[in-house]
Amino acid sequence: MMYNGQAVSLKSLESGLVELVFDLQGESVNKLNNLTLNELSEVVAQLAVDKDIKGLLITSAKPAFIVGADITEFQDNFALSAEELKAWINKTHATFNTLESLPYPTVAAVNGMALGGGFELALSADFRVLAADARVGLPEVNLGICPGWGGTVRLSRLIGTEAALQWMMTGKPQNASNALKLGAVDGVAGSTELRAAAIAMLQAAVAGDVDFAHNRERKQQPLVDSVALLDMQEKLAKKLDSNYPAAGEILNAVCTHATLPMADALAVEVEAFVTLAQSDAAQSLVGLFMNDQLLKKKSKTLCKQADAVEKSAVLGAGIMGGGVAYQSASTGTPILMKDIREEALDLGLKTASTLLDRKIDKGRMDAAGKAVVMDAITPTLDYNEFGSVDLVVEAVVENPAIKAAVLADVEGAVSETAVLASNTSTISIDTLAESVARPEQFCGMHFFNPVHLMPLVEVIRGSKTSDNTIARTVAYATAMGKTPIVVNDCPGFLVNRILFPYFNAFNRLLIDGVDFQRIDGVMETFGWPMGPAYLADVVGIDTLVHADHVMQEGFPERMGHDSDVIAEALLAADCLGQKNGKGFYEYGVDESGRRFKEPAGQARELIAERTKQRIDISDQEIIDRMMIPMCLESVRCLEDSIVETAAEVDMGLILGLGFPRFRGGALRYIDTIGLQVFADKAAVNAENGLLYALTEGFKARLKDNRTFY
């Protein structure tokens, strides 16, 4: 063994060949953390001076080649000064450049995945051979940054700027056949033949049968300047979202360095990386990655403790029940779907069938696969087969009395070990638990609509819910492909509790004469996928009013209204939103068959009748009045221990509400603008009620200069 570290080793093969093996000890995957990079630097320095070596093979001892840099170390590195950050990047550049300039050929045998820095390392080799099932790519844009170790330069020179930009600006991993076709790799082999194929290519290069110097030059030669390059830059720039600056920086960097010598091109990339690494968007997006890892770790721990859910059931075959049935069956857990009406069961089955047909249309499933999923959904009008069910999701109408009756009925039909879970969005789990004999085996399981698209599931713990019940429900949600967050019981739980102060603030702006279409535009520019008026229509005005009453009852001092409620006026006028085509907006189909959405005259009339004044307000003031109540309710949820961490608060909003990802969540948003700035904004708006009042906990945090992250 020529070198034997904790992450990399170097060993001799026959005929002057050596093998560099990545195998990070104590980890399931290889990643380029500081330990690995330091050891790699030592090995490459050794490789550069050993005159007996004729060729280098680079491999991984793990199921994947290298999944990228160690993102857990990013936040510390990104906090460095610009010069310190450049020095950190350039140290790795020096290692990769030395590897690339070794006086003999190098071949990377890529198995599994080579992403981000892992793929950049592979690009530093003269040749790349991929396993047929491998994936390569540069997904840094998803973290708000750009490739920083030569990826933007080497890839664009290998496959051309347009293809390279498509890879980098979308961040999507590429399969082996596409990578080979474009010239990003030099060969593809079956996973069992990968090593032999890579050694054969290395031997051919050593023998001179393949010109490794030519391959090296391909990555280093500047591209020819052209009008086409400028045209492409202009075309792609029109599609950019300024809230996510990484794609634009990647585009500008590549178009700037395409015609420059290698060293100058790498310097352009470094400048782009530093600019992005110190941006608010990168802080938020890297933070989201870390938050997601925390949720996965928590879920994994609970899943290990849980009894498996081999068979489930859903009560109610409506939109939610049908969605739950589809999601469970399509992810491998057979499910009973019960209703009291045959036509409801038919509708539930049709819902599942339609969703599966869409998968077939997109080429993601065939008819045989659809049949398997449909066979896993058993419609029923009775409880005869419920004795074999491990977990029941109650998804009947949002009425406490009806839910209580249904839960009491089904408890008598299931085994004593079965878990009962209510898909309620607002009703107290402790209140519903009064209707069951085994409250320790009862919890909330709040899915978001549409079930097949929304990733979040709130698993709500009642005061008597057992740890085993929570673990089993989390395991079921995870098996369904969802992201569960464990929430303690309170009105609205986590997401709706935080959402309704936002709607309350919206109502107050309407009463103050601010037009709802303008508010929607401002909040969409802020980053929301839809403004509050449009969101209200999508949710349903009747659903909105019902939930608002629950929140007022739960938190009367803070969430009560000091004036008319516009949503209630709309509901009284039979305006339900998208459900019946009229709400804040009117919905329909024009003569050409195109769907339209336009502000409803009736809504404007109803608002005008209730407007107390018409204030002069800036866009930023609209943002402040909308966001402060939401942010402060997020603070209260953390302080009230509704969830354990700031990460869970923010991920609930990202996954359940579509909170702007580049802002990272409500608590990350407070950190970003600064606690003092936020406190000053709240003070300016204090006259708008208790929704704008700082908590004592926030004041203490501000005094101690403690951020949420």
Give the catalytic positions in this structure: 446
Q: Are 374 and 352 in contact (CB under 8 A)?
A: yes
End-to-end CA distance of the chain: 44
Rounded Cα gap, residues 608 and 603, in angstroms: 9
At which residue do the structure tokens 């449009």 appear?
Answer: 534
Amino acid identity, position 20: L
Q: How far is CA 307 from CA 361, 408, 486, 544, 628, in A?
A: 36, 23, 17, 37, 42
| Residue 222: cis peptide before it, omega within 30 degrees of 0 | no
Sign, CA torsion 633/639/644/647: positive
3-state SS of 195-258 is HHHHHHHHHHHHHCCCCHHHHHHHHHCCCCCCHHHHHHHHHHHCCCCCCCHHHHHHHHHHHHHC
Rounded Cα gap, residues 672 and 155, in angstroms: 34
Rounded Cα gap, residues 486 and 459, in angstroms: 5
Q: Are 232 and 162 in contact (CB under 8 A)?
A: yes
Rounded Cα gap, residues 147 and 137, in angstroms: 10
Beta partners for residue 600, in sequence order: none
In degrees, rounded to 5, the angle at the alpha carbon of residue 561 between the alpha carbons of residues 557 and 567 is 140
Residues 385, 387, 393, 396: what is their CA dihedral angle, to the nearest 10 degrees?
Answer: 60
φ/ψ of 78, rounded to 5, equals -70, -20
Rounded Cα gap, residues 311 and 313, in angstroms: 7
Q: Are 85 and 274 in contact (CB under 8 A)?
A: yes
Rounded Cα gap, residues 169 and 124, in angstroms: 21
Q: Are strands 595-599 and 456-461 parallel, antiparallel or unpaired?
A: unpaired
Reference 411, options 422, 420, 421; nearest CA is: 420
377 membership: H or E segment, kind and range: strand 377-380
Q: Are 119 and 137 in contact (CB under 8 A)?
A: yes
DSSP letter (8 states) at residue 308: P
Burial class (CB in 10 A: 0-12, 13-18, 19+), 315: buried
Q: Are strands 335-338 and 312-315 parallel, antiparallel or unpaired?
A: parallel
Neighbour tally for 629: CB within 10 Å:
28
At which residue do the structure tokens 């170097």 appear?
Answer: 10
Amino acid identity, position 393: V
Q: Are 386 and 415 in contact (CB under 8 A)?
A: no
